[in-house]
Chains A and B, each alone.
Chain A
Amino acid sequence: MEFLNTFIKAAFIENLVLAYFLGMCSYLAVSKSVNTAFGLGLAVIFVLGITMPINWVISEYLLSENGLFGVDLTFLRFILFIAVIASMVQLVEMVVEKFSPALYAALGIFLPLITVNCAILGGSLFMVSREYNFSNSIAFGLGGGFGWFLAIIAIAAIREKIRYSNVPPALRGLGMAFILTGLMGIAFMSLMGIDPAAYASN
C-alpha cells in the first residue's frame, strides 16, 4: 500500500518535471515530436527505476556511518551516484542498440543525455534527503520516471499541435515551450497537497 502511495505521489503530485522542474534540458530538447519523446520517456523510467534502489543500497550500506566502513562518507555520494547512473545509461544504450536499432537511431545523441538528466540524479538526492526505505525507493524511482514520461508526452503533443498556430516568430519553438511548461506547472499545482495515504485510510 505504501508502495502504491509513493508511486502515485511521485508520478502525479510531486511530478519531477512539473512540480520540481527537474530534467528540463532533455525535456525541452527532445519534445518536438511525440515519437522520440515516447522513447526517451521509456528510457528515463527504466534508468530511474534501476538507479534509485542501487543508489539506496550504496547510500545505506557504503556511505552512512553505520555502513560497511563505519565512517561517514556522505560527501562522496555525488561521485558514486553519478557513476552508477552513467554505467546504467551505458547499459541501456547497449541494450537498445542491440534490440531496437530504429529506436536507437531516433534517440541518437539523446541517450547519453539521460546521464546528465537532472531528474535522475535529483531523484537519487531527493530519495536520500527524504529518507525513503528500500521498497519506497523503487516506488519513487518508477513513479518519478512515469511522471516524467507523462510530462514529456504531454508537452510534445502540445508542441506538435501548436505548430499550426500563429505564434510570433521570435517566440516560436523554444520560447513557447518554456511558457507552456510554466502553465502546465501551475496547472499541476492544483494536485499538490493531496495525500493518497489519507484517502486509503478513509
Chain B
Amino acid sequence: MAETAVKEKEPLFQFGKKERHLITDPLNDNNPITVQVLGICSALAVTSLVYPSFVMAIAVIFVTAFSSLFTSMLRTYIPKQVRMIVQLVIIASLVTVVELTLKYLNYPIYKQLSVYIGLIITNCIVMGRLEAFAMANKPWRSFLDGIGNGLGYGAILIIVGIIREVFGKGSLFAGSPIELKIIGPTVDYFINTTDSALFGWYTNNNLMVLPAAAMFIIGILIWIQRSYNTKLVDVS
C-alpha cells in the first residue's frame, strides 16, 4: 500500500473545502438513493427495524470506502478489458470480510440480514462510485468519496428504518442493547395503549412492516427533497 501512496505529489491526507464537499454532496444534492437511484434493494429489505438498517449502513460505508481506496490504488495497473471483474473481486472480498466479521461479532444480526449482506456486492452505489470516481482519482479522495456516498446511503436507510419501526412496531432500536419501547399494548411500553385514555385507539400499522412501505416512504422522501431542491426535478 505504502509504495503507491508515496507516489502522490500533493499532501496525502489533505482535508480542505473540496474534500469536505466529497462527504456532504452525497447527503443531499447527489444522494445515492433519492437522486442517483442506486442501491435500492437492500434499502427495502432491511429497513423494517432501525438496528439492522444501522448495521447495514456501517457495512456499506465500510465497503464503499475501502473498495474505492483499493481500486484507486490499483487503478493504473488494472487492465481495462477486465476492470469490472477486478472491481467485483475487490468488492466481493470486502463483503466476505463483512460477513465473517458479523458472524464473529454479532451472530443474531448476521442471521437477520442473511442474504442481504451478500447483496451489498450488487449494491450499485459501490460499483457506480468505483466506475465514476475511484478509477480516475487519487486514493485519499476516493476514500472520502466512498465514505460520503456510504453516509448518504446510510442516512436514507436510517430515516426509513425509524419511520417504519416507530409506526410498524412501536419501538426503536429493537434487538440492540438500547431498545426503546415507545407505544404498544403492554406495560413495558412508554405509552401503554391498553389503559391510556388518549391513545386507546392506537394500533401498529402493519403496512409499515411490508417492504412495499419502504417504496412509499422513499417516494415521499424524494417528493419532499425535490420540493425544496427544485434543480433535481425530473423533466421527462
| Contact, chains A and B (beta carbon distance below 8 A) | yes
The answer to whether the Cβ of B119 comes within 8 Å of any Cβ in the partner chain is yes
Q: How far is the CB of B56 from chain A (nearest CB, A)?
A: 13
Q: Which residues of A contact B121 (CB under 8 A)?
A: 78, 82, 116, 121
Q: Which residues of A contact B178 (CB under 8 A)?
A: none
Known: A78-B92, A79-B96, A178-B216. A118 touches B114 (CB 8 A): no
- With an 8 Å Cβ cutoff, the count of chain B residues facing the other chain is 48
Known: A83-B89, A170-B223, A170-B227. A24 touches B122 (CB 8 A): no
Across the interface, do B122 and A120 meet the contact criterion of CB distance under 8 Å? yes
- Bound complex: CA A135 to CA B233 (Å): 47
User: What does the 1/0 interface line of B200-231 toward A look like (CB < 8 Å)?
Assistant: 00000000001111111011101110110010
Across the interface, do B115 and A129 meet the contact criterion of CB distance under 8 Å? yes
For B207, the closest partner residue in chain A by CB is: A186
Known: A82-B92, A87-B85, A178-B216. A21 touches B45 (CB 8 A): yes
Q: Which residues of B contact A32 (CB under 8 A)?
A: 236
- Bound complex: CA A181 to CA B219 (Å): 10
Across the interface, do B40 and A28 meet the contact criterion of CB distance under 8 Å? yes
Known: A118-B119, A125-B115. A174 touches B37 (CB 8 A): yes
For B32, the closest partner residue in chain A by CB is: A25
Q: Which residues of A contact B215 (CB under 8 A)?
A: 21, 178-179, 181-182, 185
Q: Which of B37, B119, B213 has the most CB of A within 10 A?
A: B37
The answer to whether the Cβ of B3 comes within 8 Å of any Cβ in the partner chain is no
- Bound complex: CA A179 to CA B211 (Å): 12
The answer to whether the Cβ of B100 comes within 8 Å of any Cβ in the partner chain is yes
The answer to whether the Cβ of A96 comes within 8 Å of any Cβ in the partner chain is no
The answer to whether the Cβ of B149 comes within 8 Å of any Cβ in the partner chain is no
Q: Which residues of B contact A121 (CB under 8 A)?
A: 118-119, 121-122
- Bound complex: CA A20 to CA B211 (Å): 8
Known: A112-B84, A170-B233. A21 touches B211 (CB 8 A): yes
For A28, the closest partner residue in chain B by CB is: B37
Q: Which residues of B contact A125 (CB under 8 A)?
A: 115, 118-119
- Bound complex: CA A78 to CA B93 (Å): 8
For A115, the closest partner residue in chain B by CB is: B84
For B215, the closest partner residue in chain A by CB is: A182
Which residues 170-196 of A sit at the B interface, judged by CB distance below 8 A? 170-179, 181-183, 185-186, 189
Pick 8 A–B contacts, CB within 8 A, sort by A.
A20-B211, A78-B93, A82-B89, A112-B84, A121-B118, A122-B41, A172-B236, A181-B215
